Amino acid sequence: MKDNNQARKLKPAYVILILTLITSIVIAISLFTGRYPKAGISSPTIVLTDDLALKILWIIRIPRILSALLIGAVLASSGYVFQMLFANPLVEPGFLGVSQGAAFGAAGSILLFGYIPVLTQISSALFAVIGLILSFSLASKFNFGGWILRLILAGIAVSALFSSGLGLLKYIADPMSELQDITFWLLGGLWNADWKTLLSILFICIISLTILYLYRWRLNILSLDNRSAHAAGISPVFEKRLLLFIATAGTAAAISVSGLVGWVGLIVPHLARKLVGSDSRFALPVSMILGALYLLICDTVGRSLLAGELPLGILTSIGGALLFIILLTSRKSLGKTI
Amino acid sequence: MTENIFSLERITYTYQDSAKTVLHDISLDIPNGVITSLLGPNGSGKTTLIDILLGWKKPNTGKVLVKGRDLSSYSRRERSKLISLVPQNEPLQFSFTLLDYVLFGRAPYLPQLGLPGKKDIEIAFEALESVGLTDLHSRSITSLSGGERQLIMLARSLAQQPEILLLDEPTSSLDPGNTEKVLDILQELGKSGLTILFSTHDPSASAHIAEYIIMLSEGKKFLADKSKFILTAENLTNLYGAKLNVTHVDESIIIYRESN
Amino acid sequence: MKNKYLLTQSSILVIFFLLFVLLISSCSSDEATKNLINTTSNTQTIGILETNGSADESIYKAVDSLGRVVSLEEKPTSIIIAGKATMIAADALSLFQEYRSHILAMGITDQGLGDFYDLLLPDLPIPERLPHSVSAEEIAGLNPDLVIMKDRNYSSVGETLDNLSYPVFSVNLENSDDYLQEIQELGKLLHQESRADEICFAYSSRLTHIREKLSSLKEMQKENVLLLYTTISDGITSFQIPPESWIQTYLVKESGAIPVWEEAAGSISWQKISFEQISQWNPDRIYIISYKTLTNHFMEEIKNSSLWQNLSAYQNNQIKSFPADFHNWAQPDTRWILGLQWLAKDLHPEIFSMIDIEKEIVSFYNDFYGITETSFIYTILDRYRKSLLTIE
């Protein structure tokens, strides 16, 4: 008997189990996929007996796969948290100037001080938060439309500001380059993900994921009216700011390594909710796993399909756009969100 | 046992940005263990008063005492175990199940990062039971009708196991049938010793279940007394600025507009 | 059911869109753009009007690389060379010694390794150095009577200048044929046909020499070569391969080797590739090109990399820098012939044992630029020697 009003369709435990299984399989496949010894998937025996292949595995592929998983989980969970805290399923950090601020901060720091991971992280997080604050204050100064509309419009403006700021930085610093340097930041990619970069963001990302995971039930209540949250004994303003900051910091760290990779934070939470319902207790962890899986698939395809690397942001956008269309055209999708 | 559970002394509230004063020097008491109605026309400051009782807004002057203690001296947790709120409506962005939604009311009893346990689920089911929505517990809240929405918000507040239940215009957007339903449930709850305060602009609702009525007009306390004394044609006409009359049918008080 | 229909419809839409995009991107290229400009503006006369239809001795006229007829009534004495890749056009014009003193303004010619013009024109005041992204307005404001630019700049700057009646002569110069043909046309424009013949002869004699020596080379004797343009940005080193139509690919083919990247190359510009791809090709020889800096940093990185150590080219000491003096020789600059000679000799030392690159450098600068002073030559040789690095 099919009840279309059932909010939770599948048992969360099963979903998480199956997703973890799928992710493990994809990880295993990714380990043996690339351009060497041949384009595409190579047989494990060949890879494990070839010296160079083993080195490639250890030095290039494993850190890259781990980075994709970590960054995917962070971007998805940050997107999820943003959606809960703004009580709107149509936001993601990329909409509110957070991602662009992060890219701007990271690129600027590298330009000024060279590539020093700690400085880059700090600068990235700083400008990501500035982006968020700017979007907020700008939105409160608009005087038309509902709050969410204003926020998104402000976010567009702030994102544009930071993107063009990024372009300007690069141009002034190196006016003779062919603009290719910017494509990394604007289109994203993981070709520089090695053990060093992974370790540099591991701490912040794990902390971000852990804290958000711990708050997963509380997130539900924070998505309610501030007054109702207050009535339930919560300090909504403080907790929202805390979680926003943590989500932003995680996102910033991820973007400082991967460049601007969008759509993950928007689409994956939707998919997660479709699978296990809207309760964040389950939807958040599922988002994390799904995000990791999604980014891993995109990255593996991007680095193996052609001789030249396809930018990660392009692949996540293609997938994201497709899934978005599917979501929008299915009946019970966004409800009364807009 | 104290007579009055709430005591407000000379409360003033002014909005910061617009400098508009919504409550002028109000002093009133809310009796313990009975159903009180906060009655007044639109814009009389009912919602602001409830916000202050909830601790959500801080008055510019005056004191709010709950059970003899200053409201601000209660910790958030203490306060939320004592007082809960049923808002007028809530935006429904996510399709939580009814059970999950009611469980949110258990927040004061859980540690900050805690998850609801078996006991909490039991209490949630009891709350659902008291509003008659147990069968729909696995449905999504977005599929509820207007009346059902009000009930589910009530259930959530009940799961909070408060001593005081504040309701902000619970029946203002409901049709007569649903209004009746909600008021009946409130009446039932009132019998268990719960202090209930609900705001409304509809004197019939007050008449129906309230034992005590506070009339509010333009941010000032107009009158406050037991309902049987206060609901007179004269008082109502003065409160609303429209000619209203009162009559008694059986045990009920009926309010109607007087035609010339 | 309506759901499924919408779903399929939307998916098909997206897939078609992607195919469309892929199609467009693979078709477009410099050639296509050039042809586009060609067909829309075939033999359109620009510049000062011709007095009558017949060829006039006093008219300075030629056809540029975009197929446009450029015609001047008087000898050009205020020439501006600007836009992206200024040095390619500048180095070509400077082959005509007389015209060096007629340069009114020039773009930046220092790619990062030094400015040839500090040495070439130390006494002549070149007043203004124009930035790469100079606007047509700026150029027009200086009132040149001839503007020479790499054809890539035509759509952005050249066309506007044309419309303002400033004559623009575009050069492509991406392979040996281009050089021979375009230098001739440039010679016609400047009434320096005999000088143009000299230059072309200098190129073709060297080229013929190489072709003759390689004529008996069998296909299977040809080695697999990989040219990598190496850059560092945001602290990350990346390796890029050139398009098939560019001079870098041409150099490898002309020097009797196989460019392994040909099939994988992009059509418009440099394309980034991963180490995995490099190891899949596992070429016999790898040449590292850097335009803005010497290759020391990159060679150091490669030398210390545990990954690169597994490549045959590494193990056989066949990872080398592509040489440079003021400019790296692997680009469409006049020095391409030196690049070709050097590469041919490096690939086939026995066949080209009679070639002494340093002697070739001296004769190059003599024949092409008329430079004979020892101090100048010494500077160039010094730069050349410093640019040669091998991983051993």
- In this complex, does chain B touch chain C, defined as having at least 3 beta-carbon pairs under 8 Å apart? no
Predicted confidence (pLDDT) at residue B152 exceeds the cutoff of 60: yes
At B259 the pLDDT is 73
Least confident of A61-70, A185-194, C115-124, C205-214: C115-124
Q: What share of chain A is helix, strand, coil (3-state, %, to 5)?
A: 75, 0, 25
Q: Which residue has the higher pLDDT, B40 or C46?
A: B40
Say yes or no: B80 contacts chain A, CB-CB below 8 A. yes
Contact B51/A235, CB-based, under 8 Å? no
Joined tokens for residue A194? 């090695």
* Spatial separation of the C-alpha atoms in residues C156 and C163, rounded to whole Å: 12
Predicted confidence (pLDDT) at residue A300 exceeds the cutoff of 80: yes
Joined tokens for residue A106? 């990271």
Residue A35 is nearest to which of C131, C133, C280, comparing CB atoms? C280
Q: Which CATH number fits domain C219-387: 3.30.420.40, 3.40.50.1980, 3.40.50.11540, 3.40.50.1820?
A: 3.40.50.1980
At C54 the pLDDT is 45
Contact B93/A88, CB-based, under 8 Å? yes
Asked if A264 and A295 count as a contact pair (C-beta separation under 8 A), the reply is yes
Which portions of chain C are predicted below pLDDT 70? 1-11, 13-14, 21-58, 123-128
CA distance A305 to chain C (A): 11
Amino acid occupying residue C68:
R
> Given the structure tokens 């080193």, which residue do they identify?
C237
At B153 the pLDDT is 95
- Which residues of chain B lie closer than 8 angstroms to A277, CB-CB? 95-97
At A336 the pLDDT is 40
Q: A189 pairs with which residues across the strands?
A: none
Half-sphere exposure of A63 (CA within 13 A, CB side): 20
- Which residues of chain A lie closer than 8 angstroms to B138, CB-CB? 6-8
Instruction: Return residue ranges of chain C for CATH 3.40.50.1980.
Output: 57-204, 219-387
* Spatial separation of the C-alpha atoms in residues B207 and B187, rounded to whole Å: 12
Chain C residue at shortest CA distance from A109: C234
At A128 the pLDDT is 94
Cβ of C380: how many Cβ atoms within 10 Å? 20
| Domain ranges for chain A | 2-336
Comparing CA positions, the residue from C344, C351, C286, C365 lying closest to residue C319 is: C286
Subunits that touch chain A (at least 3 Cβ pairs < 8 angstroms)? B, C
Q: How far is CA A247 from the centre of its chain?
A: 10
Say yes or no: B162 contacts chain A, CB-CB below 8 A. no
Q: In terms of C-beta density within 10 A (0-12 exposed, 13-18 middle, 19 or more buried), how is residue A246 classed?
A: buried
Query: For B219-239, what is each residue's pLDDT tens digit?
Result: 888 788 887 788 888 888 888
- In this complex, does chain A touch chain C, defined as having at least 3 beta-carbon pairs under 8 Å apart? yes
- Which residues of chain C lie closer than 8 angstroms to A309, CB-CB? 272-274
Asked if C8 and A330 count as a contact pair (C-beta separation under 8 A), the reply is no
Least confident of A288-297, B87-96, C27-36, C339-348: C27-36
At A185 the pLDDT is 80
At residue C231, φ and ψ (nearest 5 deg) are -135, 160
Chain A residue at shortest CA distance from B165: A231
Predicted confidence (pLDDT) at residue B163 exceeds the cutoff of 90: yes
Calculated CA dihedral for residues B101, B107, B108, B114, nearest 10 degrees: 160
| Strand ranges, E, within chain B | 4-14, 21-31, 35-39, 61-66, 69-70, 83-86, 164-167, 195-200, 212-217, 220-226, 244-249, 252-257
Query: For B100-146, what is each residue's pLDDT tens digit?
Result: 999 999 999 999 999 999 999 999 999 999 999 999 888 899 899 88
Contact B139/A234, CB-based, under 8 Å? no
Residue B95 is nearest to which of A214, A233, A335, comparing CB atoms? A335
* 3-class secondary-structure state, position B226: strand
Q: C238 pairs with which residues across the strands?
A: C231
Write the CA distances from A289 to A22, A209, A325, C36, C184, integer angstroms: 10, 11, 22, 50, 65
At residue C80, φ and ψ (nearest 5 deg) are -115, 130
Q: Which helix (H) or strand (E) holds B115?
A: none
Q: Which residue has the higher pLDDT, A146 or C106?
A: C106
Q: Which helix (H) or strand (E) holds A248?
A: helix A236-258
Task: Fill in the DSSP letter of residue B259.
Answer: P
At A337 the pLDDT is 39
At C36 the pLDDT is 41
Contact B90/A230, CB-based, under 8 Å? no
Asked if C142 and C116 count as a contact pair (C-beta separation under 8 A), the reply is no
Amino acid occupying residue C323:
P
At C49 the pLDDT is 38
Query: For A242-267, what is each residue's pLDDT tens digit?
Result: 999 999 999 999 999 998 898 899 99
**Predicted ipTM of the assembly:** 0.90
Is domain A2-336 classified as CATH 2.130.10.10? no
**Under an 8 Å CB criterion, which residues of C touch A?**
3, 6-7, 10-11, 14, 18, 108, 111, 131-133, 233-236, 238, 241, 261, 263-264, 266, 269-277, 279-280, 292, 306-307, 310-311
* Spatial separation of the C-alpha atoms in residues C280 and C307, rounded to whole Å: 12
At C33 the pLDDT is 44
Say yes or no: B95 contacts chain A, CB-CB below 8 A. yes
At B93 the pLDDT is 83
pTM metric for this prediction = 0.83
Write the CA distances from A51 to A2, A303, C304, C317, integer angstroms: 56, 21, 17, 19
- Which residues of chain C lie closer than 8 angstroms to A60, CB-CB? 274-276, 307
Say yes or no: B62 contacts chain A, CB-CB below 8 A. no
Task: Fill in the DSSP letter of residue C374.
Answer: H
Half-sphere exposure of C194 (CA within 13 A, CB side): 1
Chain B residue at shortest CA distance from A332: B95
Contact B95/A225, CB-based, under 8 Å? no
Question: Cis peptide before A37, with omega less than 30 degrees from 0?
Answer: yes
Task: Fill in the DSSP letter of residue C304.
Answer: T
Predicted confidence (pLDDT) at residue A43 exceeds the cutoff of 90: no
Q: Which of B75, B80, B94 should be substituted to probe chain A, the one whose Cβ sees the most A Cβ atoms within 10 Å?
A: B94
Q: What average pLDDT does chain A have? A: 87
CA distance B51 to chain A (A): 8
Say yes or no: B16 contacts chain A, CB-CB below 8 A. no
Query: For C293-337, what is each residue's pLDDT tens digit?
Result: 889 999 999 999 989 999 999 999 999 999 999 999 999 899 999
At C105 the pLDDT is 87
Percent of chain B with pLDDT over 90: 47
Query: Once rounded to an integer, what is the mean pLDDT over residues A148-154?
Result: 84
Q: The domain at C57-204 falls in which architecture?
A: 3-Layer(aba) Sandwich (3.40)
Predicted confidence (pLDDT) at residue A4 exceeds the cutoff of 60: no
Q: What share of chain B is helix, strand, coil (3-state, %, to 5)?
A: 40, 30, 35
Query: Once rounded to an integer, what is the mean pLDDT over residues A104-108?
Result: 90
Chain A residue at shortest CA distance from C279: A36
- Which residues of chain C lie closer than 8 angstroms to A175, CB-CB? 131-133
Write the CA distances from C106 to A253, C102, C132, C137, C368, integer angstroms: 44, 11, 10, 15, 20
Q: What average pLDDT does chain B have? A: 89
At B1 the pLDDT is 42
* Spatial separation of the C-alpha atoms in residues B139 and B101, rounded to whole Å: 11
Residue A39 is nearest to which of C271, C280, C292, comparing CB atoms? C280
Q: What's the start-to-end Cα distance of chain C, in Å?
A: 68
